[in-house]
Each structure stands twice: as C-alpha cells, then as structure tokens.
Amino acid sequence: MNKKIIDLIIAILVIAVGIGIWIISSNNKTESDNNSNNTNTTENENSNESQEENINSDDKKVAVIYFSATGTTKKVARYIKNATGGDLIEIVPKEKYTDSDLNYGNDNSRANKEQNDSNARPEIKKHINTDNYDVIYLGYPIWWGDVPKIILTFLDNHNLNDKTIIPFCTSGSTGISGSLSTLKNYNKNVNWIDGKRFASGVSQNEVTNWVNEISY
Ligand SMILES: Cc1cc2nc3c(=O)[nH]c(=O)nc-3n(C[C@H](O)[C@H](O)[C@H](O)COP(=O)(O)O)c2cc1C
C-alpha cells in the first residue's frame, strides 16, 4: 500500500481515538457534575429541613423550673433539660429545709406545719426571671398529696398568665392528680398541661419519651 495512504489511515485513527477519549471524559464530567448537583440539592433540602426544625424548636423558649428538697425531683428536672434543651432553674428556699424540717412523721415539723397552713408561703431566695419563657416544666416533690407551699409562692411572685406550664413531680407513691387540681385552681390564666409523676428510679429514656409525647 502506498505510504501516503497508510499515514492518512494512521492520522484518521489517532484523531478518532482522541475524539473518543474526549467524548468519554466529557460524559463522565457531565455525570459527576450532575451527581454533585444532586448532592447539593439534597444538602440544601437537608439544611432547609434542619432550619425548619430549628425554627420550630426555637420559636418556643423552654425553662425547667423546679423545687427539690432531697434531690429526686432535681434529677428528673435535669433529664427534662437534656430532652428539651431548655434552661434549668432551681427554686431555692430562702431557708433551706433540714432533715428535721422534712420529718413527715412529726406533726410539728416545718414541712408538715406549712402543708397544714393554707396561708403558708415559704420565701424563695432569689427572684426567677420567667418573662422570656413560653413553656415552663414545673417540678416539685409531692408533700401530703399536694404541691409544697413554696410552689404557691412561686406562682404568687411571677406573672405566668398565658404561659404553658407542664407540671411534673416525684413521690413515694402518690400520683400527680391532687397537685394538678391545686395548680389549675390557683391560677386559671395559665395554660396548664396535665403532667406526670415519676418514681425515684426513673431513667433518662422514660423522661425523654414523655417529653416527646407532649405537644404545645
Ligand atoms: C413532708 C413530706 C410529705 C410527703 N408526702 C408524700 C405523699 O403524700 N405521698 C408520697 O408518695 N410521698 C410523699 N413524700 C415523699 C416525697 O414526695 C418523695 O420522697 C420525693 O421524691 C422527694 O423529692 P425531692 O427529693 O425532690 O425533695 C413526702 C415527703 C415529705 C418530706
């Protein structure tokens, strides 16, 4: 075969192979561009989703406010704080309750006398700023089937009108219902949500599950 023709065939083959490689590589590039666009879209969708979630959880400011004489209610309050991300605030009595104050076997113990006195309003050490909160989890131990009187002091000292309050309590065995009716009757301008009583051995999981069931 004429050498010129052979050279021409080789040149055509080289060009054809070059074009083939370019087509294949540009197809791959388009595919990877598409993939990365898809990824971006997914990322954007996800980030929009998480933004919406944040808006939902951010639009209500939550506080977990509690009184606890011996630490049981405090533990549950911490679990609620972990589950909600709300601010944890303790109602600290001006005069701390000693063991003998809490002796419910003695009619003359401080706690028993307070519970028997409808006018008793034990002082709180420091005013709690509740203005910024829309939702308050309010915790206390059950004393003689009811809220400790210091909880009524808290209700007296704060403007809680139109706030949503979710009571929670701990006890040896008594349920929450007696204390719930006291609270509901005491301030009818609060949006009370029926709360829950917990035993001392309650776990974080149990509390988190309860928190997740509540809608407000
Ligand atoms: C004065 C007083 C009265 C109580 N009355 C009851 C009661 O009526 N029913 C009950 O189940 N537990 C009762 N208890 C037990 C507490 O509710 C329980 O130990 C609670 O979990 C304590 O919470 P705290 O550690 O946060 O103070 C009483 C405790 C005290 C000190």
Instruction: Spell out the SS3 assignment of 99-123.
Output: CCCCCCCCCCCHHHHHHHCCCCCCC
Considering only CA atoms, which residue is closest to atom 31 of ligand 1? 102
What is the C-alpha to C-alpha distance for residues 92 and 133, in angstroms, rounded to an integer?
Answer: 19
Residue 31 pLDDT: 44
What is the C-alpha to C-alpha distance for residues 44 and 100, in angstroms, rounded to an integer?
Answer: 61
Ligand 1 pocket, CB under 6 A = 68-74, 102, 104, 111-112, 141-145, 170-174, 200
Q: How far is CA 157 from CA 126, 129, 187, in A?
A: 11, 10, 12
| Terminal Cα-to-Cα distance of the chain (whole angstroms) | 90
The enclosing H or E element of 191 equals strand 191-192
Q: Which SS3 state, helix, strand or coil, does residue 69 take?
A: coil
Considering only CA atoms, which residue is closest to atom 27 of ligand 1? 69
The ligand 1 atom at the shortest distance from the C-alpha of residue 172 is 11
Mutate to test the pocket of ligand 1, among 67, 68, 103, 171 (most ligand atoms within 8 A of CB): 171
Q: What tens digit of pLDDT does each residue of 126-169 get? A: 999 999 999 999 999 999 999 999 999 999 999 999 999 999 99
Considering only CA atoms, which residue is closest to atom 3 of ligand 1? 143
What is the C-alpha to C-alpha distance for residues 78 and 204, in angstroms, rounded to an integer?
Answer: 9
Q: What tens digit of pLDDT does each residue of 65-119 get? A: 999 999 999 999 999 999 999 999 999 999 999 999 999 999 999 999 999 999 9
